[in-house]
Amino acid sequence: MAFSASIIFKGVDQVSKPMRSMDNSINRVSKSLGNFSMLAGGLSIATAVYSGLNAVKDYDSAIASLKAITGLAGEEFVPFRKEIQKIGDGTKKSFVEVGKAMQLIGSAQPELLGSAESMGKVTESAILLSKASGIDLPTSASALTTAMNQFGASADEARKYVDILSTSEQKGTAVTQQVVDALINGGSAAKTLGLSFDETNAIIQAYAKAGVMGSKAGTQMASALSKMAKDTNKNFNPTVVGATKAIDNLAKANLSYKQLIEKFDEEGAKNVATLLNQNHVVQRLSGNLHVLGNAQKQADERSKSIAFRIDELTATFQNLFITGSETSGALNAFGYVLKFITDNMGLLATILGAVVTYYGAMKIITTGITAVTWLMNTAQAVNLALQGKALLFLKGNTAALVAIPL
C-alpha cells in the first residue's frame, strides 16, 4: 500500500498533537506552581514578620512587668535585660518566655529582685526543669520556687533541686508536679523535722507507689512524720536517728496495726502503715536522688524531637527580631508612633473623616461626568445613525427622480 505525503504528515500530526497538548498543560501547571510557590513564599515571609512583631510587643510587655516588680529602670535595669538575653541565647528560649519566667520567679522569691545574676541562676534552672520534665516554663518556674521556698534554698542550690526533682520523677512513680503538690502540704513539716530535700522526695515517692498522690501525699507524710517525732523510742523518732532510719527501724519492728494505733492513734497509724508498707521505696531512693547532671541528660534526650527543634528555631528567629529592633531603635520608634496615635486620636479621626468625605465627593463627581459623557456619546451615535439613514433615503429619491421622465 502506498502512502502519500499527506497521510504521513497527518499521522505524524495525530501523534504529535497530544504531545503538544501535554507540553502546554505541563507549562501551565509549572506556571501555576511557580505562582503558588511565590504566593506561599510571600505568605511565609508575612507570617514570620507577624510572629516577629508579636514577639517584640510581648517582649516589651514582659520587660515592663519585670521593671515594675523590681522597681528598677534605666541603667539600673540593664543587668536584668542582659541576663534575659544571655539566658535566651544559651538555652534557645524566647526572650519573651525568659522575661515572663523571671517575673514569676521574682514574685515567688522577692529576695532575688535585687540581683540579676541570682535571678538568672534560678531562671536557667527552671528552664532546665521544663525541658527535662516536659512541663511548660511557667509551671516549671512555679514548681521550682515552691520546692526551694519550702526548704529555704538559695539561688546557688537551684540546679541541685532540679537534678533531684528530675531524678525523682525518673526513678519514682509521681511526676514533678505531683511531687510539688505534695511539698506544698508537707514540705515545711519535713524541713522542720530535719529531712533533706532528697529524703523528702523519697518519702513522697513511697506514698505515690501506694497510690497516694499530690497534696494528699504531702498531708499524710506530714501527719506520719509528726506522729513518729513524738514517739519516746528514739529508734522510731526521725528527729533523733533521721527519717530514713526511723522508718526502716519501725518497719523491721513488725508491729501489728493495733500496736500502731496505740502508738500513733487511728489516723496516724493509717498514714504510718502506708509508709511502712513502702519502706523498700524509701530505702532505695533516699540519698540516691541527687544525680548531678541528670536533668541535663533528660533535657538533651527530649530535645531530639522535631517539635522541640521547631520551637528552638522559632525562638531564635524571634530573638533576632527583638535584638534587631532594639539595636536599630525600632522598638522605641514604634512605641513613639503608637503614643502619637493614641494622644492624637481625635485629630487623626477628623483628618481621616475629611479624606473619606473628599474621596466620596470626588467619586460622585467623577461618576457623574462619566455618565454624562456616555450619554452624550450615545446620543451622538444615534444622531449619526439617523443622518446616515436620511442620506440613504435621499439617494433613493434622487435615483427615482432620474428614472422618471418629466
Q: What is the DSSP string of 206-257?
A: HHHHTT--HHHHHHHHHHHHHHHHT-S-GGG-HHHH-HHHHHHHHHHHT--H
Kindly state whether residue 99 falls inside one of the protein's structural domains: no
Predicted confidence (pLDDT) at residue 405 exceeds the cutoff of 70: no
The Cβ of residue 241 has, within 10 Å, a number of other Cβ atoms equal to 16
Contact criterion met (CB below 8 Å) for 140 and 130? yes
Contact criterion met (CB below 8 Å) for 126 and 101? yes
Contact criterion met (CB below 8 Å) for 106 and 66? yes
pLDDT, mean of residues 6-23? 54
Out of 32-36, 179-183, 189-193, 259-263, pick the least confident.
32-36
Residue whose C-alpha is closest to residue 9's, from 19, 1, 17 = 17
Residue whose C-alpha is closest to residue 314's, from 135, 92, 139 = 92
Tell me what the pLDDT averaged over the chain comes to. Answer: 82
* pLDDT band of 312, cuts 50, 70, 90: confident
Looking at the structure of the chain, the number of domains it has is 1
pLDDT, mean of residues 50-62? 83
pLDDT recorded at residue 401: 44
Per-residue pLDDT tens over the stretch 270-310: 999 999 999 999 999 999 999 999 999 999 998 888 888 89
DSSP readout, 9-30? HHHHHHHHHHHHHHHHHHHHHH
Predicted confidence (pLDDT) at residue 43 exceeds the cutoff of 60: no
Contact criterion met (CB below 8 Å) for 206 and 200? no
Retrieve residue 338's grid coordinates: 503608637
Kindly state whether residue 163 falls inside one of the protein's structural domains: yes
Kindly state whether residue 61 falls inside one of the protein's structural domains: no
pLDDT recorded at residue 393: 46
The DSSP call for residue 155 is: G
pLDDT, mean of residues 232-248? 96
**Going by C-beta distance under 8 Å and a sequence separation of 6 or more, which residues neighbour residue 106?**
66, 69, 70, 112, 113, 119
Domain residues for the domain of 141 are: 109-303
Kindly state whether residue 74 falls inside one of the protein's structural domains: no
Out of 2-11, 90-99, 349-358, 379-388, pick the least confident.
2-11
Kindly state whether residue 76 falls inside one of the protein's structural domains: no
Per-residue pLDDT tens over the stretch 108-160: 999 999 999 999 999 999 999 999 999 999 999 999 999 999 999 999 999 99
Residue whose C-alpha is closest to residue 91's, from 69, 59, 121 = 121
pLDDT recorded at residue 321: 80
pLDDT, mean of residues 234-260? 96
**Going by C-beta distance under 8 Å and a sequence separation of 6 or more, which residues neighbour residue 334?**
56, 325
The CA-based angle 33-38-44, given to 5 degrees, is 120
pLDDT recorded at residue 319: 87
Contact criterion met (CB below 8 Å) for 257 and 209? no
Out of 39-48, 140-149, 219-228, 311-320, pick the least confident.
39-48
* pLDDT band of 81, cuts 50, 70, 90: very high
The DSSP call for residue 77 is: G
Q: Cα separation of 297 and 302, whole Å?
A: 9
Q: Cα separation of 127 and 98, whole Å?
A: 8
pLDDT recorded at residue 395: 52
Kindly state whether residue 131 falls inside one of the protein's structural domains: yes
Q: Cα separation of 284 and 280, whole Å?
A: 6
Out of 290-294, 321-325, 361-365, pick the least confident.
361-365
* pLDDT band of 35, cuts 50, 70, 90: low
Retrieve residue 175's grid coordinates: 511526676
Predicted confidence (pLDDT) at residue 400 exceeds the cutoff of 50: no
Predicted confidence (pLDDT) at residue 8 exceeds the cutoff of 50: no
Cα end-to-end distance, the chain, whole Å: 78
Dihedral of CA atoms 18, 20, 21, 22 in degrees, nearest 10, equals: 90
Cell 541527687 belongs to 290
Kindly state whether residue 57 falls inside one of the protein's structural domains: no
Report the percentage of the chain scoring pLDDT > 70.
67
Where in 75-115 does DSSP place strands (E)? none
Kindly state whether residue 247 falls inside one of the protein's structural domains: yes
For the chain, the C-alpha Rg in angstroms (whole number) is 41
Predicted confidence (pLDDT) at residue 219 exceeds the cutoff of 90: yes
Q: Cα separation of 195 and 173, whole Å?
A: 20
